[in-house]
Structure 1
Amino acid sequence: ELDEAKQRLLFGFFETYLRLSEEEEAKLRNEVSQMETKEAKQVMELIVSYEQRGMEKGIQQGVKQGMKQGRQKGIEEGKLDVVKRMLAKGYDVDTIHELTGLPVEKIERVKG
């Protein structure tokens, strides 16, 4: 029987060292299915917990990356809006480039 300490040890091992392919995971599940019922149930609970934590970490990383990309896109769109306003006020391309840091080519495209 897996006591709590053994469960934590196994979970730590899975999380730290084990990156299973689909084939390896199938083998592990097959071996677990051949264990005694109570022990197999405990190991499967660890595997499921491991998978859930992995998914949660992936979601968190995805959200962070999405937020970062969204901020960058918002900043870029804000700069383009400023470029349009500056062009409408008669600023020249070089001055706009100097103030916004945008490439001259991009400013020229906005200018049309």
Structure 2
Amino acid sequence: MLKKITPHDEALKKLLQTFFKEFIELFFPELDRLLDHRQTRFHMQELLVDIVGHESRELDLLLETKYTELDAYVLIHFEPQSYRDADFHERMFIYFGRLFERHRKEHKLIIPIAIFTADDVKDEPDSVTMEIPGHEILRFQFLKVELRNQNWRQFIQSDNPVAAALL
């Protein structure tokens, strides 16, 4: 399936580029405490190529920041998703695998985050697992924000610019 680019996907990417720290602070406060936002820099558009399938995709947003627990730089991959895609969780795993392959020498951790904006998106799968009886072979799970599932009343008094923009 070809990627649909919608105006609000672009607006969300601009919001994340401008207010990355505030977004993390709002939706992932436990992660926020582990990041040194003074060390954040955005990567150029990253192209991921599938040699077997002859397909290439550009990641929506990739940034590097300092993770204080590891005293190392980590990658954070944001993927806004504005339409329902039954295979989205598998695509996130593929993106993760390609990022890991390309950046594993420089970055000890890759944090994938999906942001679902579609009206009909609820309880989207956020993991890929593979197992045989008695043994889990793989468990991949990404962080997610389903904007339509947020209780926005809790953010009304917030001075966070991301909360204000998304209200």
Question: TM-score, normalised on structure 2?
Answer: 0.21
If each structure's helix is expressed as a fraction of its own residues, which one has the higher value? 1
Greater Rg over alpha carbons, structure: 1
If each structure's strand is expressed as a fraction of its own residues, which one has the higher value? 2
